[in-house]
Amino acid sequence: MNGNRTAFLQGLSKIPGLTLVTDSAELKYLAKDRTGTGSESAMVLAEPESEKQIQSIVRLCREFQVSIVPQGGRTGYAGGASSSGNDLLLSLHRMNRILELNPYLPSLRAQAGCITRSIQDYARKEGYYFPVDFASSGSSQIGGNAATNAGGIRFIRYGGMRNHILGMKAITGTGEILETNGEILKDNTGYNLKELLIGSEGTLGIITELTLALTAQPPESVVLLCAHSTSGDVLELLAHCRRSGLDLHAFEFFNQGCLQKVAEHLKLDLPFSNPVPYYSLLEFTLDNASEEFLESGELFQLCFEALPASSDSGKKKFWSYREGISESLSAGPVHKNDISIPLAGIPSYLDQLQQLLEQRFTDLQSYLFGHIGDGNIHINLKPADGSLSTLDFHDQCRSFDQANTELIQSFHGSISAEHGIGTLKKAALLTVRSETEIQLMQSIKATFDPDWILNPGKIFDRMQDSGIK
Amino acid sequence: MNGNRTAFLQGLSKIPGLTLVTDSAELKYLAKDRTGTGSESAMVLAEPESEKQIQSIVRLCREFQVSIVPQGGRTGYAGGASSSGNDLLLSLHRMNRILELNPYLPSLRAQAGCITRSIQDYARKEGYYFPVDFASSGSSQIGGNAATNAGGIRFIRYGGMRNHILGMKAITGTGEILETNGEILKDNTGYNLKELLIGSEGTLGIITELTLALTAQPPESVVLLCAHSTSGDVLELLAHCRRSGLDLHAFEFFNQGCLQKVAEHLKLDLPFSNPVPYYSLLEFTLDNASEEFLESGELFQLCFEALPASSDSGKKKFWSYREGISESLSAGPVHKNDISIPLAGIPSYLDQLQQLLEQRFTDLQSYLFGHIGDGNIHINLKPADGSLSTLDFHDQCRSFDQANTELIQSFHGSISAEHGIGTLKKAALLTVRSETEIQLMQSIKATFDPDWILNPGKIFDRMQDSGIK
């Protein structure tokens, strides 16, 4: 910080209409995101209601060299919205208005603080569909989704946030407003700054408004819950779906450990009489192709058992096995990884991962689930029994991450498919992206935010000039 | 240039295996792209066959401060591949190998110099489909398509190049190789440099290799050629298609002037007995929705006449009315605009455009056509009769562009939907993008290419440090 804390807070309090929170108990709670990492404190929370207020905040923070942590629903898994101790937390939650529906595209213009579910509900009420969806849709915000380029369970059919952002308003680290693209589908006028801001985790600009592409309501669908003896069968089932011309809405998977946890947590019956190592959950359009698929010999070869559901309640129950997993793992220590692997390599990667865990990490219990149809697997680790200290657990997880990063690289995969880098993957980023790339990113950061006040310490730390050629 | 031209050319000739062309007649031809603008000469043409050769070229050019103009098929409409007189032209045409098909995604890895049609043909032969398509597919290169974020006639169903680039290799202005994303669908590891390079018109990096997303073969389709009395009816027909749940593959339009030109040029019969102001060309999946649509009362209300074609030859003939337009206008002077407008505003924009032309530009004849379902219209101007001198024609076009840019801005549209900025739209770019945006772009340019040797003078001119805050 540059200058006097009291003077800074006084300056803030003079911004017309701006709500501030300085209560330390409240700040202690808000200083962390879902990961529980970061500092126990922050300097102040600002709750702006307009771009103008945000511009004033940014300019004041620049003058006093105060770091800004933009916060959406704080539902991230990478520490991207956590405080480093003396920051200004900037919550978007008061900027939660849906502004305009355009029925021609169709599209919806909305402020960044809108809850994801409210966007989904509004679209559905108007006869459209907003397909970006995940377990945290009830609390995540649409601006945070854009800042992290969120993916989710419908990616396989619709893509993620990047595919649904037509226009964006954002405020840079110098307090300037960027308004990019708007409601046009095609715009090749210079570098696409919008695409750069998507997934930049609040380090290049504070996203304040989005124009979102909506789609038609999805067609009637079937959910199929399948039990598999090998991960190879899961991938072969995906290939069989593709060959069958199935219109997939989702292709998810989880292992036996996840099923046990979620059934206990949600008090659900086990869907199959005998446990198997892997389960897949498919959703697809009910059409001629799906009718043939459901009768196909390959389906029965690749699945130990396969249960279809076409009623709303049946589909919901099957989905709860998948969507309840994260929550069922949240009691006690848990270490999360969110990786992606080119599809062809997945069975081999999973075999090698299993070997790695069995040979070197017998104190860790692994829970694997995720969007396997996109090549995206969430690896969750917990202590195998109660005897492992928290410190030892975290040590082992760190070692695991190192070994796993090497393994992922050998498959040309990604160490962060949809969760982003935040603070938790910073070290790994330096090993998976080249020096050239890191330098380009650092320089782009300095371009949008010359004083490094926007979410500093997220994605990467500031390297001194010597590091940048 | 910094230093001795002979020394530079000697250095080039020492790069192992590199083919060089210095014949001035050949260079004169290659110094221009399809727009015919730019210089009559260039210093040398290099035809590399590997990334390694390109890295050597870039480093040598950096040492001697020689500008590099990357060239694909030179089919652009913005002057983006034209020489400024003393440049090194870098043609990618020898890097034209298809490297690998991945049937799981499915995707295709290919070198940047592959002709678009060869990618389409390869995909089709293997049972897949590459949907980015336009009139110049037979000569444009896939790397140039990426560098300009090309759109085309299937955008409405599949999106453009941006939607089909999974991974990219490119060489920056310092000769470093960037390898981004590869064959994974999800990758949130820092800023997405690939998205930034798409559409950057060779100013940030020389694209050398792409991993392209393929899709399933399109379903059986119908082509419908419609005659309309008003542009409003064209837009209402689009809304009717959307309400009918029609699976649109294309929604194109052209005006009466275009139809006349193309029929003369290709010696085609006129499809309708009476001329009307506007025509639309639709292609959509043959399914239940399309059967209902073809019988619907709204279709007959919105169209003066509507002719369906479902045979290959019939569809091809209807498409030739649309795809032959550009070529039919190419004899004599022609001035091109490629704009996009939010869909809701199109009828009103077209009315005001018509007024503008009738009131102020009676010496110009306008030919309107394009991808109206995407809000994208190509405005082509030619002298109304032979009496207008070339100089006066270009003067009038310049005045028209200024007035049209204002009009487009009042509709929140884009002055370049899919053609890019190149040299021809540079002046207009400064009026439609904010100072903040231009400064950010300039600074990003300097980050990737500190010596401004990659296609300098395209998109924008270099502003001196004083211009960048």
- B/e letters for A458-469, b = 16+ CB within 10 Å, e = fewer, are bbbeeeeeeeee
How crowded is residue B236: how many other Cβ atoms within 10 Å of its Cβ? 16
> CA of A23 to nearest chain B CA: how many angstroms apart?
34
Which residues, numbered 312 to 331 in chain B, qualify as contacts with chain A under a Cβ-Cβ cut-off of 8 Å?
Answer: none
> Mean of the pLDDT values across residues A231-252?
92
DSSP state of B452: -
How crowded is residue B365: how many other Cβ atoms within 10 Å of its Cβ? 17
Q: Does A237 touch chain B (CB under 8 A)?
A: no
Domain boundaries, chain B: 5-91, 98-216, 221-326
DSSP states of A239-300 = HHHHHTT--EEEEEEEEHHHHHHHHHHHTPPPSSSS--SEEEEEEEE-SHHHHHHHH-HHHH
Facing residue for A375 by CB, picked from B185, B190, B441: B185
**Cα dihedral: A158, A162, A167, A169 (round 10):** 140
List the single residue in A with minimal CA-CA distance to B424.
A189
* pLDDT at position A256 over 70: yes
The pLDDT assigned to B244 comes to: 86
Give the strand pairing for A19-21 and A68-71: unpaired
Most confidently predicted of A133-137, A143-147, A287-291: A143-147
Give the strand pairing for B305-309 and B335-340: unpaired
- Does an H or E element contain B170, and which? strand B165-172
Q: What gap in Å lies between CA A409 and CA A111, rounded to an integer?
A: 38
CA atoms within 13 A of residue B359's CA, in its CB half-sphere: 7
The pLDDT assigned to B245 comes to: 83
Do B436 and A200 count as a contact with CB atoms less than 8 A apart? no
List the single residue in A with minimal CA-CA distance to B376.
A186
The pLDDT assigned to B468 comes to: 42
Q: What gap in Å lies between CA B145 and CA A40, rounded to an integer?
A: 50
pLDDT digits 0-9 by tens, A299-345: 999 999 999 999 999 999 999 999 999 999 998 899 999 999 999 89
- B/e letters for B345-359, b = 16+ CB within 10 Å, e = fewer, are bbbebbeebeebbee
Which residues, numbered 95 to 154 in chain A, qualify as contacts with chain B under a Cβ-Cβ cut-off of 8 Å?
Answer: 102-106, 148-149, 151
CA atoms within 13 A of residue B203's CA, in its CB half-sphere: 28
Facing residue for B199 by CB, picked from A188, A238, A440: A188
User: Best mutation site among B184, B234, B433 for testing chain A: the one with the most A CBs within 10 Å?
Assistant: B184
How crowded is residue B461: how many other Cβ atoms within 10 Å of its Cβ? 14
> CA of B110 to nearest chain A CA: how many angstroms apart?
17
Q: What gap in Å lies between CA B151 and CA B133, rounded to an integer?
A: 8
Q: Does A288 touch chain B (CB under 8 A)?
A: no
Which residues, numbered 13 to 72 in chain A, qualify as contacts with chain B under a Cβ-Cβ cut-off of 8 Å?
Answer: none
pLDDT digits 0-9 by tens, A354-412: 999 999 999 999 999 999 999 999 999 999 987 889 899 999 999 999 999 999 999 99
Q: What gap in Å lies between CA B229 and CA A442, rounded to an integer?
A: 55
Say if CB A166 and CB A211 are below 8 A apart.
Answer: yes
User: Could you tell me which residues are beta bridge partners of residue A332?
Assistant: none
DSSP state of B214: P
User: According to DSSP H, which parts of B39-131 are helical?
Assistant: 51-64, 116-125
Q: Does A405 touch chain B (CB under 8 A)?
A: no
Q: What gap in Å lies between CA A86 and CA A42, rounded to an integer?
A: 5
User: Best mutation site among B153, B188, B468 for testing chain A: the one with the most A CBs within 10 Å?
Assistant: B188
Distances in whole angstroms, Cα of residue A292 to Cα of each of A233, A241, A301, A321: 19, 11, 15, 26
In degrees and rounded to multiples of 5, residue B15 shows phi and psi of -75, 120
Mean pLDDT by 10 residues, chain B (469 residues): 89 98 93 86 97 98 97 94 95 97 88 98 94 94 98 93 96 96 90 98 98 92 97 93 89 97 96 95 94 95 96 96 94 93 93 96 96 95 88 94 96 94 94 94 97 97 60
- B/e letters for A346-372, b = 16+ CB within 10 Å, e = fewer, are bbebbeebeebbeeebeebbbbbbbbb
* pLDDT at position A469 over 70: no
Do B416 and A189 count as a contact with CB atoms less than 8 A apart? yes
pLDDT digits 0-9 by tens, A154-195: 999 999 999 999 999 999 999 999 998 888 899 999 999 999
Give the strand pairing for A107-111 and A206-213: antiparallel
Name every chain A residue with its beta carbon within 8 A of the beta carbon of B165: none
Name every chain B residue with its beta carbon within 8 A of the beta carbon of A443: 447
* pLDDT at position A233 over 80: yes
Q: Does A196 touch chain B (CB under 8 A)?
A: yes
Do B441 and A417 count as a contact with CB atoms less than 8 A apart? no
> CA of A375 to nearest chain B CA: how many angstroms apart?
7
Q: Establish, for the pair of chains A and B, how many residue pairs have beta carbons separated by less than 8 Å.
A: 225
Q: What gap in Å lies between CA A370 and CA B302, rounded to an integer?
A: 48
CATH placement of domain B98-216: 3.30.465.10
> CA of B463 to nearest chain A CA: how many angstroms apart?
15
- B/e letters for A31-56, b = 16+ CB within 10 Å, e = fewer, are bbbbbeebeeebbbbbbbbebebbbb
**Type of residue at B378:** H
Least confident of A28-37, A39-48, B228-237, B290-299: A28-37
Q: What gap in Å lies between CA B262 and CA B148, rounded to an integer?
A: 27
DSSP states of A367-394 = EEEEEGGGTEEEEEEEESSTTS-HHHHH
> CA of B458 to nearest chain A CA: how many angstroms apart?
10
Q: What gap in Å lies between CA A230 and CA A222, rounded to an integer?
A: 24
> CA of A147 to nearest chain B CA: how many angstroms apart?
10
Q: What gap in Å lies between CA B194 and CA A268, rounded to an integer?
A: 44
**Type of residue at B31:** A
List the single residue in B with minimal CA-CA distance to A433.
B189
Domains B5-91 and B221-326 share a fold: no
Do B199 and A176 count as a contact with CB atoms less than 8 A apart? no
Q: Does A413 touch chain B (CB under 8 A)?
A: yes
User: E strands of A59-181, at which residues?
Assistant: 68-71, 88-91, 98-102, 107-111, 128-129, 165-171, 177-180
Instruction: Determine the Cα angle at B334 with ends B328 and B338, to 5°.
Output: 90
The pLDDT assigned to B179 comes to: 94
Q: What gap in Å lies between CA B342 and CA A426, rounded to an integer?
A: 40
Structure tokens at B181: 């994303």
Name every chain B residue with its beta carbon within 8 A of the beta carbon of A438: 190
DSSP state of B388: S
Do A375 and B448 count as a contact with CB atoms less than 8 A apart? no
DSSP state of A450: T
Do A447 and B444 count as a contact with CB atoms less than 8 A apart? yes
The pLDDT assigned to B464 comes to: 66
Instruction: Determine the Cα angle at A175 with ends A169 and A177, to 5°.
Output: 25
Do B182 and A412 count as a contact with CB atoms less than 8 A apart? yes
Nearest to B338 by CA among A187, A195, A183: A187
Nearest to A161 by CA among A186, A138, A144: A144
The pLDDT assigned to B388 comes to: 87
Facing residue for B340 by CB, picked from A185, A418, A444: A185
List the single residue in A with minimal CA-CA distance to B420.
A188
* pLDDT at position A2 over 80: no
Sign of CA dihedral A92, A93, A99, A103: positive
Name every chain B residue with its beta carbon within 8 A of the beta carbon of A195: 162, 192, 195-196, 198
Instruction: State the architecture of A221-326 in CATH terms.
Output: 2-Layer Sandwich (3.30)
Q: What gap in Å lies between CA B450 and CA A293, rounded to an integer?
A: 56
Do B421 and A151 count as a contact with CB atoms less than 8 A apart? no
Q: What gap in Å lies between CA A55 and CA A59, rounded to an integer?
A: 6
Name every chain B residue with its beta carbon within 8 A of the beta carbon of A415: 189
Instruction: Determine the Cα angle at B245 with ends B244 and B248, to 5°.
Output: 105
Q: Does B9 touch chain A (CB under 8 A)?
A: no
Q: Which CATH number applies to A332-410: 3.40.50.300, 3.30.70.2740, 1.10.150.20, 3.40.630.10?
A: 3.30.70.2740
Facing residue for A375 by CB, picked from B103, B148, B184: B184
Q: Does B292 touch chain A (CB under 8 A)?
A: no
Name every chain A residue with its beta carbon within 8 A of the beta carbon of B443: 447
pLDDT digits 0-9 by tens, A114-142: 999 999 999 999 989 999 999 899 999 99
Do A184 and B340 count as a contact with CB atoms less than 8 A apart? yes
Q: Does domain A5-91 have CATH number 3.40.50.2000?
A: no
